[in-house]
Structure 1
Amino acid sequence: MTTRKILAFLTVLALATLGSCSVESENIFNMFEDVKITFHDDSDYTVTDYRKYNDGDSVHISFTITSANKDMIKLVVDSTIGTGATNGKREFALKESERRSYTGRIRFKIQRDGKATFRIYALDDMNVYMGDGYKSVTVEGAPSYTLLADRKVYRPNPDKPELPTFYSIAKGKAYTYAEGLANAADIDFGIYYGVDTTISNLGRVVYNLYSTTTEPNPYPAFDISNWEKRPTLFSAMIESSAASIFNNSLISSSRIEEEAKKQVIDQTHTDFDTYAKAIKADRMFYFLTPEGKYGALYIKQNTIDANGDDYLSILTKIQN
């Protein structure tokens, strides 16, 4: 047999073999098409695709989900925040009469700034995904609070008057003592300090904060007697899970206020005398401004800059 005939024979054999094979697996591009979902516009609060809400607004997600050829045993409501991280998941069993068609409504209040996407999908009797109709809805909470990150407030040093040691929460700015008089109406607190004398932390800076209303002045090296006073109040220092609370719980104006009101906010200053008890990284305070706005002050770092000067790196969240 010649080479040409051998190649022709092999080609025919291959085609015959392929022709005898049947494709039995489902096509991934249409295997979930039995499940359909419709979002209904049936109230003043409903969302059918995308909608922006204000903090505290009611949200309705009204829907009908159907399956043409197979029973739906469970429904899952899956929500994710804008980063794609899982925010919540709830599943519930369907009654026998609801397994081919179910109509429901999800109700909640907006208490998170930013976007969240909701999917509703079905599971079969083997707990296997059946489909979500290739649809979802997205709700967005309009900005209700302001986050200001990585502001530096320095330990006061009379020999270095250029160091900003007073801070305005609303302005998001630290001021030097020389700048303080002209900006006193905006300044919520200043920093003062001591030095630890205990053996375990000997010589470490002990940070404290104080409102300019504090009497007597805890840092008399800076005379603020002629400043306009701003009576911002603070809670006791939060030591446990401060980062988690600040990042994951204080996610809207209403949530900030809810959490702040769990604390007594009546302090004008702190008076720690050891490093172990004092203000340091991963500590937090709630505050209440004279305008009635609640917020939180989180300490990200207590550290030293390239010039050897001590400072606190702070983050604040405050209601708009």
Structure 2
Amino acid sequence: MKTKNIQKLFLIAISVMVFASCKKESENIFTMFKDVTVTFNNSDPRCVTDYKVVNEKDEVWIDFTINSAAEDMYSYVIETSAGTTTPSRITTAISDPAQRRSFSFIYKIPNSLYPALRDGKQSFRVYALNQKGIYIGDGYKKVTIDVNPSYKIFANRDIFLPDSTAKVLPSFFSLNDATSFSYTNGAANSTKIDFGIYRTLYKDAQGVTQYAINLYNTTAPASVFPIYDTSTWQKRATKFSAPITNQGTVFLTGAISGSTIEALAKARTINLNNTVGTTAANGLAAGSAVFFLTPEGKYGMMLINQVTTDLQKRPYIDVSVKMQN
């Protein structure tokens, strides 16, 4: 019995020594790449060396020097992280052998690969790769650019199809503050209203009744939606594009600043007082977007998230809006 206990104690002792040995030999992630250092230089007022607040149309410089004490660097990577999106990486070769232990560069934004700063915070880090393309360090440093808001965003706002009897459903919409209005209170708020929505029915190829949903501003002819008389309302001549399909990704990842929203909108023809879709697919359909220009000269994008009904079977569209400040 004593022999068995001695054997158990011996095995425990060996296990402890092996564990301690392994623990001693494994390197900490914060010390194993200590041979590479990165310095962010302050060579110009446009440089960011740690944290900098800017406007989205400002030019920003990241002036860096990366040094490697132990092995040659064959390329460097500039990694950009913003919000919850997957970091983007730009890899550039170091072609001059004389610069493989110390390399300096000024990365200027905007540029052809990174044409716009997005609103909010974005962090940049620089790291080195060896001849085999293996990461060898980043000096445990990064810089952060914080871009002042250049656009408004309103998510998941409901706009109901109009009711012709009580006229109390909120079928009119203000893009400036994402407030909806009914025909009943619309006249008192007509200076804020950019558009209303309505639907027309049609028969599809199988003879099934379907609906096409469109929008109109109050300068559109009365014949567009004669059930609601807006002739005495004050008018906002916001102009619209025709609905563009498959715009969910563009809205999420492309419209990231006031200038990118403007560029996206200017790529479309924005000249309509009312859209003219004749089917559900080419009207205000889920996933489609309408670009617009307000009377104040602000460009924007409205995404149709879904076309559905509430618990009382009242049809509505759910929209999200991005618009320049």
Gaps of 5+ in 2: 111-115
CA distance in 1, matches of 2:276, 2:4: 97
- Kindly report which structure 2 residues correspond to 1:30-179, keeping only aligned pairs within 5 A, or say none: 30-83=31-84, 85-109=86-110, 110-179=116-185
Farther off after superposition, 148-157 or 76-85? 76-85
- When normalised by structure 1's length, the TM-score is 0.91
The 1-side partners of 2:195 and 2:59 are apart by 37
Match status 1:182 vs 2:188: yes
**Match for 1:255 among 239, 253, 260?**
260
The equivalent of 1:226 in structure 2 is: 232
Structure 2-normalised TM-score? 0.89
**Number of aligned residue pairs:** 319
* Matched residue type, 1:318: M
Which amino acid counterpart does residue 175 of structure 1 have in structure 2?
Answer: F
Which residue is 2:247 aligned to? 242
* 2:315 pairs with 1:313: no
What runs of 5+ residues in structure 1 fail to find an aligned partner?
A: none
1:270 paired residue number: 275
Shift of 1:92: 2.3
In structure 2, what residue type is equivalent to 1:195? L
What is the CA distance between 1:277 and its match in structure 2?
A: 2.6
How far, CA to CA, are the matches of 2:99 and 2:145 in structure 1?
Answer: 27
Superposed displacement of residue 136, structure 1:
0.7
How far is the alpha carbon of 1:19 from its aligned partner?
11
Q: CA deviation at 1:150?
A: 1.2
The 10-residue stretch of structure 1 (57-66 or 149-158) with the greater mean CA deviation from structure 2: 149-158
Paired residues of 1:72 and 1:94 also in contact (CA < 8 A)? no
Preserved contact between residue 116 and residue 138 of structure 1 (Cα < 8 Å): yes
**Residues 241-293 of structure 1, C-alpha deviation per residue, up to 9 Å, x if partnerless?**
31111111111000011111111111100222322332210111110000000
Change (3 A) 1:148 1:64: same
Maintained 8 Å contact 1:61/1:107: yes
Q: Which amino acid in the other structure matches residue 219 of structure 1? A: F
Deviations 1:3-59 (A, max 9, x none): 8988898899899999999x7765644221010111111111111111111011001
Q: CA RMSD in A?
A: 2.8
